[in-house]
Amino acid sequence: MKIIDVEAIWLRVPALDEPCEWGEDALIVRIHTDTGLVGVGETDSSPSVVKALIEMPASHETCQGLRQLLIGENPLEIDRLWKKMVRGSEYVGRRGAAIHAISALDIALWDIAGQHYGVPVHTLLGGKHRDRIAAYGTFIPKPDETANRQIVRELLAQGLKSIKLGGGGFGEDLNADKALLKVIREEIGKDVKLQIDLVGRWRNYANALTQCDALRGFNLNWIEEPLPSDDSEGLLRLVQQCGIRVSGGEGLATRHEFKAFLAETRPAIVQPDITRCGGISEMRHIDELARQYGAQLVPHGFSTGILLAATVHFMAASEAGELIEYSQSDSPLFRNLVKNLIPLQNGHVPVPDRHGLGVELDEGVIDRYRVRL
Ligand code: MG
């Protein structure tokens, strides 16, 4: 079997000059083979940047387009191809967007392998540990209390026992944050887990510690990305002092960044995004690192049903795969791109047993939202 084509497809719901909030654009890939098998993958990154990294012509040996590196290769040789892509894109890559692009392609290679061998990806990864995975739901708070109560009721109606809020100005005004958390805690009661995402908004260690002290009464399950990304010293001090579990890592790529993050800051929870960290292949290394450092693996995941399927297969096959993020976006790229979207059932995500990733794309959705420049 040989790879004969690699497509990088940029999808976007709003016009190019209108904003996206979450899940309204996507970069999906399709790897075509000479046997007719097609693998799909995606990355939650900047679609236009990733598309360029895949399609660009070679400038020299360590600055090559990823498509060119894969054409003619056997798609089943995933580890060798992963290394070939990393090496061949080194000058523009090693971290960040090039690893995001490689993540998408790696996921598509695993999809092909599963279809070729006639097994789900979780079987290729060594076998599933569970048939369903507990999920948590994330929402961006609105300025209006009634709207927030309504959002939370809808989350609970889906059977979720764990919810997270962040974005929409949360973290900018402590009094407003306290008022919001009071409303949410009232609405969900004391048994539902509640976590907050600061998206790096708290200024520094001292500021973050003050805020943690002020929010202690809300029994927070974890605090996500409280400090700016490069403040590892501040984060380590916060982890040691605040008494609330700290999480992060959704923007990191490769085992090397995760190893530094885990060793330098000792978070309780690590949150790689399978479509950014280096794909399914690299998640295996990050899962192992998390185990070594005693951190719980709770992946970030907020894009299309392709990301969801890749995450579910991986988590099913991980001993530590007990909690998954389930997108609450009503974007058609989440709801409709994958025709057989893995559902949320009573707060849990069932593990599918179809071959490969098992996703069926809706060509009409691709056609409708494809960006053609
Ligand atoms: Mg986050």
Per-residue pLDDT, averaged over 236-255, amounts to: 97
Q: Residue written as tokens 């599963």?
A: 114
On the question of pLDDT at 161 being above 90, the answer is yes
User: Which pLDDT tens digit goes with each residue over 85-99?
Assistant: 999 999 999 999 999
Residue 146 Cα, ligand 1 centroid: separation in angstroms?
A: 24
Catalytic residues: 300
How far apart, in whole angstroms, are the C-alpha atoms of residue 235 and residue 247? 10
Residue 83 Cα, ligand 1 centroid: separation in angstroms?
A: 29
User: Which pLDDT tens digit goes with each residue over 93-141?
Assistant: 999 999 999 999 999 999 999 999 999 999 999 999 999 999 999 999 9
Beta partners for residue 360, in sequence order: none
Residue 199 Cα, ligand 1 centroid: separation in angstroms?
A: 6
How far apart, in whole angstroms, are the C-alpha atoms of residue 201 and residue 223? 12
Q: Is 185 helix (H, G, I), strand (E, B) or coil?
A: helix
User: Which pLDDT tens digit goes with each residue over 51-102?
Assistant: 999 999 999 999 999 999 999 999 999 999 999 999 999 999 999 999 999 9
At residue 179, the pLDDT reads 96
Instruction: For residue 366, give every residue at least 6 positions away whose Cβ sits within 8 Å of its Cβ, in sequence order, or none.
Output: 9, 11, 28, 337
Closest CA to 111 of 337, 312, 253: 312
Token pair recorded at residue 316: 């099913």
Residue 300 Cα, ligand 1 centroid: separation in angstroms?
A: 7
How far apart, in whole angstroms, are the C-alpha atoms of residue 42 and residue 29? 6
Residue 251 Cα, ligand 1 centroid: separation in angstroms?
A: 9
Per-residue pLDDT, averaged over 296-320, amounts to: 97
Provide the mean pLDDT of the chain: 97
Q: Over pLDDT 70: what percentage of the chain?
A: 100
Model confidence band, residue 22 (pLDDT cutoffs 50, 70, 90): confident
Q: Show me where the domains of the chain are located.
A: 3-119+364-369, 124-358
Model confidence band, residue 339 (pLDDT cutoffs 50, 70, 90): very high
Q: Thinking of the domain 124-358, which architecture would CATH place it in?
A: Alpha-Beta Barrel (3.20)
Beta partners for residue 345, in sequence order: 348
Beta partners for residue 166, in sequence order: 197
Token pair recorded at residue 326: 């389930």
Token pair recorded at residue 50: 């990733």
- Quick check: 103 and 277 in contact, CB under 8 A? yes
Residue 45 Cα, ligand 1 centroid: separation in angstroms?
A: 14
pTM: 0.97
- Quick check: 282 and 106 in contact, CB under 8 A? yes
At residue 106, the pLDDT reads 99
On the question of pLDDT at 373 being above 90, the answer is no
Token pair recorded at residue 64: 């090559």
Token pair recorded at residue 161: 């026992």
User: Which pLDDT tens digit goes with each residue over 194-225?
Assistant: 999 999 999 999 999 999 999 999 999 999 99
- Quick check: 313 and 339 in contact, CB under 8 A? no
On the question of pLDDT at 12 being above 90, the answer is yes
Residue 56 Cα, ligand 1 centroid: separation in angstroms?
A: 31
Rg (CA), the chain: 20
On the question of pLDDT at 191 being above 90, the answer is yes
Question: 3-119+364-369: which CATH number, 3.40.50.1950, 3.40.47.10, 2.40.50.180, 3.30.390.10?
Answer: 3.30.390.10
Residue 114 Cα, ligand 1 centroid: separation in angstroms?
A: 30
At residue 21, the pLDDT reads 82
